[in-house]
Every structure is written in C-alpha cells, then in structure tokens.
Amino acid sequence: MQRPRIRSPVSAMSESGMSRIDDEALEWVARQAAGEPGEGERAAFDAWYAAAPRHQGAYLRAKALQYSLDQMAIQESLRPGLRAAPAPADELEPAPLPHGRGRRALLGWGALAAGLAAVAFTGLMPAAVERTVLTTAKGEFRKVTLADRSVVSLNGDSRVEVALTKSERRIYLERGEAWFEVAKDKRKPFIVAAGDARARAVGTAFAVRRREHGADVLVTEGVVEVWSDKGSAQKQQIAAGARALVPDQAAQIAVTRDPGEVARRLAWRDGRLVFNNENLADAVDDFNRYNRRQLVIVDPALRRKTLVGNYRIDQPEHFADDLHALWKVPVAVTADSIRIGAAPGAKRGARGG
C-alpha cells in the first residue's frame, strides 16, 4: 500500500495559495543559498528578475522568509539544509529542483515556519543587512538589478559587495570599476565605498573606479557628493559631466568638468577603449584588464609617451601594431604576452580580428 504523503502547513500553503511566481522566487533563493552561481545561472536570474515587478516583489518576499528562518533558534539537528545542487554554469534556464530540496527545504519547517511565512509574504523586510557579492572575470561585463531596483554595471575584473538595510544602501568596491544607475529613494542614501573614498547619491548615475591609492568618481547624471573617510578634505558635490579624484586620506579632492572626458573613460560600457593624449603605461593597464594576452612595456622610456586612438577592448594586437607603425618600436608576440620595445629583430605582432 502506498504510504500517504504528509504535507506541512507551509507546503500546503505553497501548493494551494502561492502563485507560480512565488514558487520560482523561492527556487532562486534556494539556488543562491547553495553557493556562487555560474555565469549562465546568473544571466538566467537577472533576466527573470527584470522581466516584471511581480518577480522582484516575490524575490524580496522569498529573501525575507529565508532570513527569518535562518535567524530562528532551532536545534541544529532539526534544521534542514538550505543547499541545493547548483545548475551547470552554461545553463541559461533553471532546471527543476529535485523533489524535497530547494524550495521544499525553505518550506519544510512545519507549523513553526508557517507563522513566519505569513508575515514574510506581506512584503515586510527584516531590519538586518542583506549582503550580495558581485564579481566579474578579466574581460567579462555584468549588469545586475539590485533588490531596490538600482542597476550595477561591472567592468572586467571587478568585485563589489552590496549591503542593503532599512536606512541605507551601501556598496563596497573592493577592486575594479562599476557604473551605478541609482533608484530614487530619499529615505535610503546610496553610498559607494572604495578604499577611503566615498560617493553618495540619491537617484542619479555615476561610476567609481578603484585606484591603488584612491578612487575616480565620474558622474553621468544628477549630483554626487564625494569625500575621503579618513582625510581632511571638505566634502564636494559634483554634477553630471564632472570627474573627481579622491585620494586615500585626502587633504584635497581634485574636480574637473569635462563631459567628453567622462564619456571617454566610460567607453568600456560599449566595449571600447578611447585614448586622448593618454600615456602608454595607463593605456596598457586598461588593455590588460580585459585580455589574457598581456601587454608588457619592455623599454621604460616608452611609458610616458602619449597617444590618441579608439580600439575594441579585445584588440591588443591592433594596438601594438599601431605602436610599431607610429613609433617604429619593435613588438614581440608570444602565447601569453605582447612585448613592446622588445629587442630588435623580434617578430612583430600581426593585426587581430
């Protein structure tokens, strides 16, 4: 005789009263709890989240339920795991989770969780911090919609940590560069921290690039307030088309207004690198952020030479070929490097496609 299936109150609520969208949101939360998703799964989630406001609301409710359950004082032997087998990195659509795992792991808390679920699904968010880590590999770009509907566009080889609370939205730029399209919410300031540098905005768009001893802030829309957390420099407000260089422990913050320069520095969003009297050392650093084959300046005398040009970020060979033609410098190409100013007689790199 087949054993009757026993359903918890929360499971029953899910199957009869919860929408398909709520089910999908719970599955996404379970997958994310299992660990760092692959690139394909991240893309699938981003597309699902951006598809409709109902998806975004359901996701927030699912996160609230997960947090509430995680914070309960329950004997560890009785606590079900929140781990589900992650989908393959190249899978663009989420595969159904095994029965009894994933969403059921979140829902299988019985009557004790039922009360919490009722509260969570009214849309009430917990007061604690919700943290999300976003990363990109060398040459990878990523655009992510946050829970507050702000959008983060990450440049290659970048890492940010997002911390959302009831009172503020704080982003920690640990490395690289990101452009932020900030959703308006005057009650919750949007603050980006990059080393000692700080940038604060409400309903605007701006980019922050982490430097070795500070950060660049470039504003494309609205007004942003910048300062150094450990410096003596006065806070400054910069408007669209302006750039601020905020050193660590800054005594002074340099601000310049040049919309064309701001657009040039943000050309990476279109897959381009645009140089306007840029020195070779900085240009090489920019190319090396995107390509496995690294440019190497062998002759130190070339580092401060300036250049003008417009290149695709994946064309370091074109760039080196132009340097050879312009400055008559030797260029040597190996499997993993392009050496500029190499010994005479070395093989010159061919143009890349």
The H or E element spanning position 243 is strand 242-247
- Angle at which helices 20-33 and 53-70 pack, to 10 degrees? 50
Q: Spell out the residues 6+ positions from residue 299 whose beta carbon is closer than 8 angstroms to its own.
A: 329, 340, 341
CA dihedral over 75, 78, 82, 84, signed as positive or negative: positive
Note the pLDDT tens digit of each residue in 5-16: 333 333 333 333
Q: What is the mean pLDDT of residues 34-38?
A: 69
Confidence of residue 62 (pLDDT cuts 50, 70, 90): confident
pLDDT of residue 24: 83
Confidence of residue 212 (pLDDT cuts 50, 70, 90): confident
Of 325, 326, 334, 289, nearest to 305 by C-alpha is 326
Residue type for 184, please? K
Beta-bridge partner residues of 177? 209
Give exposure, 38-60, as e/b (b: 16+ Cβ within 10 Å): eebbbbbbeebbeeeeebbebbb
Note the pLDDT tens digit of each residue in 111-141: 333 333 433 333 334 445 668 899 999 889 9
pLDDT of residue 134: 95
Rounded Cα–Cα distance for residues 119 and 64 (Å): 9
Note the pLDDT tens digit of each residue in 90-100: 333 444 433 44
Rounded Cα–Cα distance for residues 101 and 82 (Å): 8
CA dihedral over 39, 44, 45, 47, signed as positive or negative: positive
Other beta carbons within 10 Å of 175: 13
Note the pLDDT tens digit of each residue in 248-285: 888 889 999 999 999 999 999 999 999 999 999 999 99
Of 32, 33, 41, 39, nearest to 87 by C-alpha is 41
| Structure-block tokens of residue 172 | 């920690």
Query: How far is C-alpha 107 from the geometric centre of its chain's CA atoms?
Result: 30
Rounded Cα–Cα distance for residues 143 and 12 (Å): 37
Other beta carbons within 10 Å of 34: 19
pTM confidence score: 0.60
Average pLDDT, the chain: 77
Please identify which residue in the block is written with the tokens 């509260």: 119
DSSP string, 208-235: EEEETTEEEEEEEESEEEEEETTS-PPP
Residue with the bigger pLDDT between 163 and 105: it is 163
The H or E element spanning position 306 is strand 306-312
Are the C-beta atoms of residues 238 and 244 closer than 8 Å to each other?
yes
Q: Spell out the residues 6+ positions from residue 127 whose beta carbon is closer than 8 angstroms to its own.
A: 165, 166
Of 125, 116, 229, 115, nearest to 172 by C-alpha is 229
pLDDT of residue 169: 95
Of 267, 231, 262, nearest to 248 by C-alpha is 231
Is it the case that residue 227 has pLDDT exceeding 90?
A: yes
Confidence of residue 67 (pLDDT cuts 50, 70, 90): low
